[in-house]
Amino acid sequence: MIIVIERTAQKQDIDELKNVLQNENISYRELSGPDYLAFHVFLSNDGEAIVDNLQAYRAVEKIIPLSKPYRKQHAQRTRKPINIRGYDAAKEPFIIAGPCSIESESQLREIAKVVKTSGAHALRGGAFKPRTSPYTFQGMGDKGIHILRKVADEVDLPCVSEILSVNDVELFEKHVDLIQVGARNMQNYDLLKALSKTDKPIILKRGFASTVEEWLLSAEYLLDGGNDNVILCERGIRSFDPSTPHVLDLNGVLLAKTLTNLPIIVDPSHAAGDYRFVTDLSNAAIACGAEGVMVEVHHRPEIAKSDGKQSLKPDKFHDLCQSIQFIYEKNRPQ
């Protein structure tokens, strides 16, 4: 790492820092230029702990790390394909679809059938909903999970649902095939640590104002805890423009693909916030190398208990599946 020395630092402050480095047996070399002084500090791979200390010294303006902090992810390694029963990464993008919320068994069944027919590889349905207001629909809870399991089995699809509480880990391990961690919980480390001990695939959404580095570091909690079956999911970031509350961050997707070998999918529904834009954003995501999409589908969006505005009707979802298949094939390395 590089320690940049504060321009106004006194000699005694700089000496104090040097003494610390020497006392800690940390080797370093001075880098000096026309108007700066910096130190290149040699740290072994697990040297993060010292950073908190060093930056507190008066002589230090800032510390610039050179190592990547997510040690268990490397773009140099072979990309991990998404490995779910019934899905073949060599041939098609991974498609998760279903309603935002599970509202009833018949509602879920009706939607499950159409997404299966159109080619989805997994069925999503929310049972525990993280709602901004306590006065809106909070989901069916445990009952919803049982409906999801039942209907998923009927249509023979793996199922996906979002977990909010460490106390539900056992329930999800038993009944849910892919466990989703939502944007609001991306830095809920208590939950991440618990999930790192399961052997279920985890879909880790990026927080709407989290950097790519923070996202990969949250994934690192899962990997470090022992679960390397992680799928990253970009779902739109917060913007300064209230007319587009979220902006799909394809730059982030492209960057992440140079930094991690974990698979990355996109949630165009939350990124769009409007059904009219979902298919275009899906196409754009696949064109930028996303390995799949998670799409909200509802047979009657007007009566959906949540996210109706951004839910696709079955016919539009069918078109979406064909459209991304087309771009996926063009985009694959031969």
Contacts with a second copy, 35-64, as mask; x by CB under 8 A: xx-x-x-xxxxx-xx--xx-xxx--x---x
Among 152, 212, 230, 295, binds a second copy (CB under 8 A): 212
Among 15, 22, 27, 69, binds a second copy (CB under 8 A): 69
DSSP state of 287: H
Question: Considering only residues 250-269, where is the footprint of a second copy by CB under 8 A?
Answer: 250-252, 254-255, 258
Of 9 and 154, nearer to a second copy (C-beta) is: 9
Q: Please state the closest distance from residue 256 (CB atom) to a second copy, in A.
A: 9
Helices 105-118/142-155 angle, 10° precision: 40
Query: Which of 60, 15, 99 lies closest to 295, judged by CA?
Result: 99
Check binding of 7 to a second copy (CB under 8 A). yes
Question: Considering only residues 309-328, where is the footprint of a second copy by CB under 8 A?
Answer: 309, 311, 323, 326-327
Convert 121-178 into a string of H (helix), E (strand) and C (coil): CEEECECCCCCCCCCCCCCCCHHHHHHHHHHHHHHCCCEEEECCCHHHHHHHHHHCCE
Q: Please state the closest distance from residue 26 (CB atom) to a second copy, in A.
A: 12
Residue 123 pairs in a beta bridge with 97, 159
- Cα(31)–Cα(63) distance, integer angstroms: 14
Check binding of 299 to a second copy (CB under 8 A). no
Question: Considering only residues 92-131, where is the footprint of a second copy by CB under 8 A?
Answer: 130-131
Q: Please state the closest distance from residue 112 (CB atom) to a second copy, in A.
A: 20
Check binding of 18 to a second copy (CB under 8 A). no
Residue 31 pairs in a beta bridge with 38
Output the six-digit token pair for 131. Answer: 């709602």
Stretch that binds a second copy, among 104-112, 145-153, 170-178, 233-241 (CB under 8 A): 233-241
Output the six-digit token pair for 240. Answer: 């300064």
Under 8 Å between Cβ of 70 and 216: yes
Among 18, 166, 200, 316, binds a second copy (CB under 8 A): 166
